[in-house]
Amino acid sequence: MRTDPKLSTRGLARLIEQVGKAAYNLGFTPGLNPAQWAALRYFDEATLERRTVTGFAQFQGTTKGTASQTVAALVRKGYLRRVGDKQDRRVHRLVLTDESQALLKGDPLQQLSTALETLTQEERWALAVNMEKVLRQLFHL
């Protein structure tokens, strides 16, 4: 493995920051912002029980109010639909509409996925393990 004495921890932090900004900026597309893309991805992948505003807020590490605003915008735009829970009338599940499922096929995050495909499987695994370690440290988990 090659080591570069110029790669300080601060330099690495700046590099990670730049990747994060680039990934975030991919989310600005006509009609949607990064928070709305994140919500669509979440509701596409979450289990049925977790497809609630509260589930999304917890996943994003944000307040229920902020998550609710994002969800409300997606409902207004016709990308999410609220469905009442049959067992608990207080709970509303959020489901993707056909329009949002079509939209997700052109998810701008795919550009980042494509860039990551230039790494070998071993490099991707090492990156994933180490990024998770950094995130855990940042959030003191």
**Residue 126 lies inside a defined structural domain of this protein:** no
* CATH number, residue 44: 1.10.10.10
DSSP letters along 74-117, please?
HHHTTSEEEEE-SS-TT-EEEEE-HHHHHHHTT-TTHHHHHHHT
Kindly calculate the radius of gyration of the chain based on its CA atoms and give it in whole angstroms.
18
Task: Please write the tens of the pLDDT for every residue from 59-101.
Answer: 999 999 999 999 999 999 999 999 987 887 788 899 999 999 9
**Residue 135 lies inside a defined structural domain of this protein:** no
Q: What is the pLDDT of residue 90?
A: 81
**Residue 138 lies inside a defined structural domain of this protein:** no
The tokens describing 93, both together, are 């599940």
Alpha-carbon distance 134 to 122, whole Å?
Answer: 18
The answer, yes or no, to whether residue 1 has pLDDT greater than 60, is no
**Residue 4 lies inside a defined structural domain of this protein:** no
| DSSP letter assigned to residue 52 | S
Q: How many domains does the chain have?
A: 1
**Residue 109 lies inside a defined structural domain of this protein:** no
Q: Which residues form the domain of 65?
A: 27-104
| Total-model pTM | 0.82
